């Protein structure tokens, strides 16, 4: 409930405002205080809005008047939650239309001549205000309103400003349905207000967002492009081509796209005009890439790569190539067409050549991911030799990006495995030569990778694949290179910490079990090399080498068995078949095992009395009990380990006793079984 005193005060202030002589100040003060009419009544507020819309007609300057109307719409929207009748908004715009002819009066033209301003520039000053005024009406308007405004436009010979406002304010779907009608009205515009290219651009934005009727689409394109291609100024042409290329990409075939691209190149190429319009041309490329359905067809177009050649500035050229290749991720799956491959390689080379020492890490990583994706998409099917040839060429083209070499090695190893699957492990002379070539490719490529971590993993993988394909020499070379590279990890510990290195070494040992000895080298030469590297490595944790040595004991104990638990099938004989449990071989295994056990005992003593020492000693005790023959030496060793284990009071003694008794029983059983076997 509003008190009488408040109403009286409110009326008093509005009477004072009404006494202001100048029209413009009086209007703006009253519009600013429009909410105060709530103290009187809602009908007073509605009446004030209609009255002020009528009063603005008294402002002589058209541009001052239109922004006053815009402000009236703005303050009217502020009180719209209480006023349901919005007719004042439409009446406000109609009053502007009634005074529209004043924009082109002789007095306005004389003032523009004095200010040295063209009529087209002057009319653009009206655009923000008119757009807002009509948007307040058009957001929920019916089709009847747009038809009514279109009729009023036809009655004006100089209607370009109204046309542009309508196309900007109404929903694109409403404009698209009447695109031909708007094209006809544009052609009938006689004034020099909003230029034709600006109208075409606005219409292009509408039809590219909302599809026009199917039977009108080609007619719309022909009518619009006839005017666009006739534009002489490159700036005007590019401004129109930018939205209309999206319309062509969405609703027409590759032939029309290629034709439009040729026309764009023809207009911007003379006198290197394109250098001034890189942002617009970049948007043209982006519109094509993001909306085209058949990406391969785009790459084989006669005019697409020439359009990319227009980007002479390296930073923009790289950005454009990146957008194209990122766009290909979702549409291109497998490619083997020579023209498409060459186009992709051209784009990738541009991207790759931008990498240098100053390239940020994120940029370097993103470029690497893009190049790897392209490499994976190029697939020649069963033509494995052509596939390997492509990988060889790619290695020469992308030497600056580490991750690309990693991807290439992975791809070549996958190619080698596919070959084996096809021949089912029974290689012919041709397939044997091919898989050896694959192994050689990997062995040559891996040293070029800077990351020690990647090199170690790839050497191990490539060695396994070579072994899988019966390429014993190549596998041996990869494993030796892995052993040599292990020593380099000390200089790159941050990238390959011990928490990752220990599982890697254990995996390496599990592979060495089935790797046959090289006849040109001594027995277990590869195993000795790995152990020498591990022994010379400076470990951060005292127990790291102990954990590895325990795994070495496991491997050596399995090596002495008559049959190994796993093998490389078809054509690869492990040491169990080669030596057949020969005494000299077993003696060599025992010799290495004794050395490793001695090192283990020394390391355990160096750890000192603690829970960790006891648990490690117990692990070694179990291995001695389960995996060794019963001799006086092994018995003494087991007792020494037992004494180390029981030093820590935190370990459950009952568990230790049960484990000790079980260990002795196993040792006795193994000893009795061997004595029985000898008899």
Q: What is the overall mean pLDDT for the chain?
A: 86
Tell me the C-alpha distance between 331 and 326, whole Å: 10
In 292-331, alpha helices (H): 295-299, 304-309, 314-328
CA–CA dist 490, 203 (Å, integer): 66
- Do 34 and 119 lie in one domain? The reply is yes
Q: Are 599 and 644 within one domain?
A: no
Percentage above 90 pLDDT, the chain: 44
Crossing angle of helices 160-169/143-155, nearest 10°?
A: 170
Residue 164 lies in a domain: no
Q: Closest by alpha carbon to 150, among 161, 162, 137?
A: 162
Predicted confidence at residue 282, as pLDDT, reads: 94
Q: Is the dihedral of CA 639, 645, 649, 653 positive or negative?
A: negative
Secondary structure percentages of the chain, helix, strand, coil, to 5: 75, 0, 25
- Judge if 558 and 665 occupy the same domain: no
Task: Tell me which of 607, 624, 644 is where a domain ends.
Answer: 607
The answer to the question of residue 293 being in a domain is no
pLDDT, tens digit (0-9, with 9 covering 90-100), for 560-583: 888 999 888 777 888 888 888 888
Give yes or no: residues 532 and 580 share one domain: yes
Which is nearest to 405 in space by CA: 468, 462, 458, 449? 449
Same domain, 652 and 601: no
Structure tokens that stand for 653 in this block: 């003694």
φ, ψ at 401 (rounded to 5°): -115, 115
Q: How far is CA 476 from the centre of its chain?
A: 39
Query: For the segment 467-512, what is each residue's pLDDT rounded down to a tens digit?
Result: 999 999 999 999 999 999 988 887 767 777 888 889 999 999 999 9
One domain, residues 666 and 575 = no
pLDDT digits (tens, 9 = 90+) for 115-139: 888 888 888 899 999 999 888 888 7
Residues paired with 378 in a beta bridge: 335
Q: Final residue of a domain: which of 119, 140, 161? A: 140
- As a whole number of angstroms, the distance between CA 226 and CA 388 comes to 50
Residue-range definition of the domain harbouring residue 6: 1-140
Backbone angles phi, psi at 565, to 5 degrees: -70, -20
Q: Report the pLDDT value the prediction gives residue 660, as an integer from 0 to 100.
A: 62
Give the containing element (helix H, strand E) for 6: helix 4-18
Confidence of residue 377 (pLDDT cuts 50, 70, 90): very high
Is the residue at 286 inside a domain? Answer: no
Mark whether 527 and 598 lie in a shared domain. yes
The 10s digit of each residue's pLDDT in 159-206 is: 788 888 889 988 899 999 999 999 988 888 766 678 889 999 999 999
User: What secondary structure letter does DSSP report for 378?
Assistant: B
Q: Looking at residues 617-631, what average pLDDT do you find? A: 73
Q: Are residues 525 and 626 in the same domain?
A: no
Q: How does residue 676 score in pLDDT terms, banded at 50, 70 and 90? A: very low
Which residue would you say has higher pLDDT here, 219 or 4? Answer: 219
Tell me: do 102 and 131 sit in the same domain: yes
In a 10 Å sphere around its CB, with 0-12 CB exposed, 13-18 middle and 19+ buried, how is residue 673 labelled? Answer: exposed
Q: Are residues 27 and 89 in the same domain?
A: yes
* 602 lies in the same domain as 660: no
Domain-embedded: residue 156: no
Q: Distance between alpha carbon 477 and the CA centroid of its chain, in Å?
A: 37
Q: What's the number of domains the chain is made of?
A: 3
**What number of helices (H) and strands (E) belong to the chain?**
35, 0
Selection from 396, 321, 313 nearest residue 366 by Cα:
321
| DSSP states of 448-467 | G---HHHHHHHHHHHHHHHH
**Percent of all residues in the chain with a pLDDT value above 70, rounded to a whole number:** 92
Q: Is residue 246 part of a domain?
A: no
The answer to whether 525 and 578 are in contact (CB under 8 A) is no
Q: Give residue for tokens 């026009």.
A: 212
Give the tens place of pLDDT for each residue, 625-660: 777 766 777 777 777 777 777 776 666 666 666 766
Report which of residues 665 and 214 the model is more confident about. 214
Alpha carbon distance, N-terminus to C-terminus of the chain: 118
The whole-number pLDDT of residue 666 equals: 60
Domain assignment present for 385: no
Q: Give yes or no for a contact between 190 and 158, defined as CB atoms under 8 angstroms apart.
A: yes
User: Does residue 655 lie in a domain region?
Assistant: yes
349: in domain: no
Whole-number Å distance between alpha carbons of 482 and 459? 6
**pLDDT given for residue 483 in this prediction:** 92
* pLDDT reading at 272 higher than 70: yes
Residue that terminates a domain, selected from 112, 140, 168? 140
| Same domain, yes or no: 627 and 675 | yes
Instruction: Look up the pTM and report it.
Output: 0.80
Task: Return d(Cα 465, Cα 458) in angstroms, integer.
Answer: 10
Residue of 520, 442, 518 whose CA lies nearest to 482: 442
Alpha-carbon dihedral sign for residues 277, 280, 283, 287: negative
């Amino acid at each position: 409930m509003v008190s009488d005193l408040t109403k009286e005060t409110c009326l008093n202030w509005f009477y004072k405002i009404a006494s202001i002589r100048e029209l413009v100040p009086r209007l703006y003060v009253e519009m600013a205080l429009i909410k105060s009419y709530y103290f009187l009544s809602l009908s007073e507020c509605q009446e004030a809005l209609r009255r002020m819309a009528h009063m603005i007609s008294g402002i002589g300057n058209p541009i001052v008047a239109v922004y006053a109307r815009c402000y009236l719409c703005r303050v009217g929207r502020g009180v719209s939650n209480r006023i349901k009748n919005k007719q004042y908004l439409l009446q406000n715009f109609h009053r502007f239309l009634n005074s529209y002819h004043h924009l082109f009066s002789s007095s306005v033209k004389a003032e523009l001549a004095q200010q040295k301003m063209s009529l087209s520039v002057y009319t653009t000053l009206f655009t923000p205000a008119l757009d807002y005024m009509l948007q307040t009406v058009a957001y929920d308007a019916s089709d009847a309103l747009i038809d009514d405004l279109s009729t009023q436009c036809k009655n004006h010979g100089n209607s370009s400003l109204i046309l542009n406002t309508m196309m900007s304010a109404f929903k694109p779907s409403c404009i698209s349905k009447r695109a031909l009608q708007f094209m006809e009205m544009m052609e009938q515009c006689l004034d020099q207000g909003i230029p034709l290219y600006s109208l075409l651009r606005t219409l292009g934005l509408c039809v590219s967002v909302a599809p026009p009727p199917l039977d009108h689409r080609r007619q719309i394109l022909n009518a619009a492009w006839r005017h666009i291609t006739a534009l002489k100024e490159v700036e005007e042409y590019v401004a129109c081509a930018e939205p209309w290329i999206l319309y062509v990409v969405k609703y027409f075939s590759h032939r029309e796209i290629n034709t439009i691209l040729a026309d764009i190149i023809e207009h911007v190429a003379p006198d290197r005009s394109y250098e001034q319009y890189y942002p617009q041309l970049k948007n043209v490329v982006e519109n094509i890439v993001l909306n085209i359905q058949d990406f391969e067809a785009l790459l084989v177009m006669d005019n697409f790569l020439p359009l990319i050649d227009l980007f002479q500035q390296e930073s923009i050229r790289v950005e454009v190539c990146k957008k194209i290749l990122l766009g290909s991720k979702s549409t291109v799956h497998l490619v083997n067409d020579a023209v498409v491959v060459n186009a992709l390689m051209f784009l990738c080379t541009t991207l790759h050549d931008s990498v240098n020492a100053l390239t940020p890490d994120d940029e370097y990583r993103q470029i690497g991911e893009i190049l790897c994706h392209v490499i994976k998409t190029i697939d020649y099917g069963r033509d494995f030799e052509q596939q390997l040839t492509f990988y060889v060429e790619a290695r020469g083209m992308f030497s600056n990006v580490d991750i690309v070499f990693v991807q290439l090695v992975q791809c070549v190893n996958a190619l080698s495995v596919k070959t084996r699957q096809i021949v089912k492990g029974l290689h012919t002379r041709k397939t044997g030569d091919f898989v050896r070539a694959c192994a050689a490719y990997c062995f040559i490529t891996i040293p070029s990778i800077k990351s020690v971590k990647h090199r170690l993993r790839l050497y191990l993988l490539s060695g396994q694949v070579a072994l899988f394909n019966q390429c014993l020499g190549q596998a041996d070379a990869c494993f030796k290179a892995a052993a040599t590279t292990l020593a380099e990890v000390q200089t790159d510990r941050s990238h390959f910490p011990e928490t990752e290195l220990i599982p890697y070494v254990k995996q390496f040992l599990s592979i060495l079990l089935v790797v046959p000895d090289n006849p040109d080298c001594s027995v277990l030469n590869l195993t000795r090399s790995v152990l020498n590297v591990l022994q010379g490595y400076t470990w951060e944790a005292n127990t790291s080498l102990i954990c590895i040595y325990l795994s070495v004991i496991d491997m050596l104990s399995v090596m002495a068995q008559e049959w190994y638990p796993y093998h490389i099938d078809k054509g690869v004989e492990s040491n169990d078949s080669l030596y057949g449990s020969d005494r000299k071989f077993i003696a060599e295994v025992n010799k290495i095992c004794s050395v490793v056990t001695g090192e283990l005992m020394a390391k355990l003593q160096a750890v000192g009395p603690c829970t960790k020492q006891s648990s490690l000693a117990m692990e070694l005790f179990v291995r001695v009990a389960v995996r060794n023959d019963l001799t006086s030496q092994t018995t003494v060793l087991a007792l020494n380990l037992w004494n180390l284990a029981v030093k820590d009071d935190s370990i459950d003694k009952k568990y230790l006793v049960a484990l000790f008794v079980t260990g002795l029983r196993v040792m006795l059983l193994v000893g009795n079984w061997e004595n029985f076997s000898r008899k």
